[in-house]
Structure formats: structure tokens, C-alpha cells
Structure 1
Amino acid sequence: MPDLKWEVLSSEYIHRGPWATLRVDQCRMPDGRFVPGYYVLEYPNWVNAVAVTVDQKIIMVRQYRHAASIVSLEIPGGVLEAGETPEMGMRRELLEETGYQFDNLELLSTIYANPSTADNLTYCFLATGGIKVQEQELDAQEEIIVEEYTIDEVKQLLADNKIAQALHCTTLFYALMKLNALA
């Protein structure tokens, strides 16, 4: 198989921020062609989970997403903090966003949101055995409504295109496959 990887000749940072950093790379392709300016978004890594309670309900969260100007129905998740493993970050996010604690956490897949423009990974989990142990502990700019759905209701939400976040649809697919609930 031919080598397709580009050689990075230089990188220049255009913007550095807590949630996104933008750099421009100059690269050389394997055949020698020069790429004068390839823009890359650097994001922190993310985690998300299909969270199933002890009574077999899937926890979903509803929140406003300003970039798309939509109220989005999603699965719980967020940004990994410095020093956290994906499992630690997922447990923290579940507790903060939903107030639920989970017995089991299984990594289903590791995916890229958009490897053509962004460098971060998303760790996708299946969390089971959830029980409510506390109230939400939201960040200053978060307003999250916690909702519970049956597996069949979530499948219908997907079929009706009511879940707009692509990474969450992907995680739901892997989780439903793992739960033998795709049929």
C-alpha cells in the first residue's frame, strides 16, 4: 500500500483558545507536491455515552447549541479535562450533566468528528446500571434538561431524524448494536 501521509514542514498558530485552536500547516505530499496552507482545528478530546438506567431507560439531554442555533437532543458527554482518562472524564460528565452514577462503563469505539479539519478524538461509551445520586452540577453556560426514553423510543427518534448530533448518532448505533437492539 502506498504511503499517503503528508510531511508537515511548518505550523503557525492563528488562534489559541480554551475550546478551539486554529493553526495553518505547510506540508509536502508523498509525491512531492507542496501544500502551502492547510488549516487544522485543534480541539480537546471528547467523551459521550449511551447511559442506561437500572430500569432500562436511556438518558438523553436537551440543550441549546449556539453554533447551529438549535435546541439539541443528545446523549451526555463533554470535553476531557487535563489529566483525565476517558473513563474518568465520562463518569464525571455523567454525574455533572445528569446526576446519575453508573455501575458499568464500556468503551464502544473511538472516532474522529471530522479528520479532514479537526484533530480530536471522541471516546464513545455504553454506561449501564445508572441510578440518580445527586442533582446536576452544570457549568455556568449550561442549561440541560434530562429526559429518559425507552430503547424503542430512541430508535424512533433516530428514524425520525430528531437527534442532530452526528457523533451521538454514531454512539447510539454502536450501543444499540451492543445491546442487540438494532432490529
Structure 2
Amino acid sequence: MSDNLKWTLLSSQYVHKGPWATLRADKCQMPDGRIVPEYFVLEYPNWVNAVAVTQEGKILMVRQYRHAANIVSLEIPGGVIDGDEKPEDAMRRELLEETGYRFDSMEPLCTIYANPSTANNKTFCYLATGGVKVQEQELDDHEELIIEEYTIDEVKQLLADNKIAQALHCTSLFYALGKMGK
């Protein structure tokens, strides 16, 4: 990226601070000197997600309600990185909590941004393989997840039929399928 495209941050002011999302207004100067008086930025914690493959070769997915979009969404497991937790550790924790599975291997797939024009967080995506069920789910207070297993061909068809609405999860699935040569 060329440095001459970068804006200079002149000041920041917080509009709202919450546990899951924070809104700030930045005053910036563009390279040509123009001033952007209020550029709103959503601050979210960083996230992790994983394409989780069991020892039997099935991909674990979770079905849950997503209130902001008012949909029941088919997704891959994932969640928020807690504090200074390492992304891989967060992913292993989330997999265990959401699915009850432990995985032999955790391979980074990509690091992506949900919407870099308005949000500052990133998502660390993994391919988890060799999954074995070791416990029951340990869900957060507002989580209700149904675990489902799919073959690789079934996941490919779900993607082709636009049955997976979460864009970050589609991205991870496409990266994982490519890595697996599928």
C-alpha cells in the first residue's frame, strides 16, 4: 500500500463504550490536506473462527439465531478473543465450549476484516482437524447452538445454494476447501 493514501489521525472522541462494541469519532486529514471532521469507527474485539473437521471427515457447523439480522444462521464455530488470549488458544476454547470437540491440529487459514471501512477488528481463521467429542457444550448465557455435521460435498452445496449467510464464515470455508484440495 502506498503511504500517500494514508490519512493522518488528528483526534479521537468516544461516542459510546460498550462491552461488545465501541463507537468513536475520528478527525482525520487526507493526504491532499482536506479534513474529515467526523469519521465514525466501530471498535470490536478480535474474533476467531474455524472450519472444524472431525476424525470421521465431517465438518462441524452450528445453527443459531442472530438477532441483528433476525435470522437463524448456519455457521462455523467461533467467537471473541478474550483479553490478551492468543488467537489459537481462543479458537481451541471456543471449539470446546461450542461443540465439545477437541482437535489434533489447528492450522491458520487467513486473517480477514469484516468491514475495514467502519470496523477495526480482525478475524483469525483456522482449519481444525482430527476432532473428537470429549465433553458436552458449555455455552454462554445468551447462546443456543445446535451442532450439525456435514460432508465436504454437502458444505460445498450449502455454499452454492447460498445457505450460509455469515460472510466471514463463507470466506473461511472457501479458504479451507482450497487448502484441502476440495
- TM-score band w.r.t. shorter chain: over 0.9
Q: Where does residue 180 of structure 1 map in the other structure?
A: 181
Runs of 4+ off more than 6 Å: none
* Number of residue equivalences: 181
1:162 aligns with 2:163: yes
| 1:9-158 to 2 correspondences below 5 Å | 9-158=10-159
Q: Give 1:125 shift.
A: 0.3
Structure 2: state its 5+ residue gaps: none
TM-superposition CA deviations, 1:101-139 (whole Å, max 9, x none): 000000010000000000001000000000000000000
CA distance in 2, matches of 1:111, 1:3: 23
Q: Match of 1:95, as an amino acid?
A: L
Name the SS of the counterpart of 1:88 in structure 2.
Answer: helix
CA distance in 2, matches of 1:149, 1:178: 18
Q: Give 1:2 shift.
A: 5.4
> Matched residues, percent identical?
75
Please, what TM-score do these two structures have when normalized by structure 2?
Answer: 0.98
Structure 1: state its 5+ residue gaps: none
CA distance in 2, matches of 1:149, 1:108: 20
Name the SS of the counterpart of 2:4 in structure 1.
Answer: coil
Q: Match of 2:95, as an amino acid?
A: L
Q: Give 1:83 shift.
A: 1.9
Name the SS of the counterpart of 2:135 in structure 1.
Answer: coil
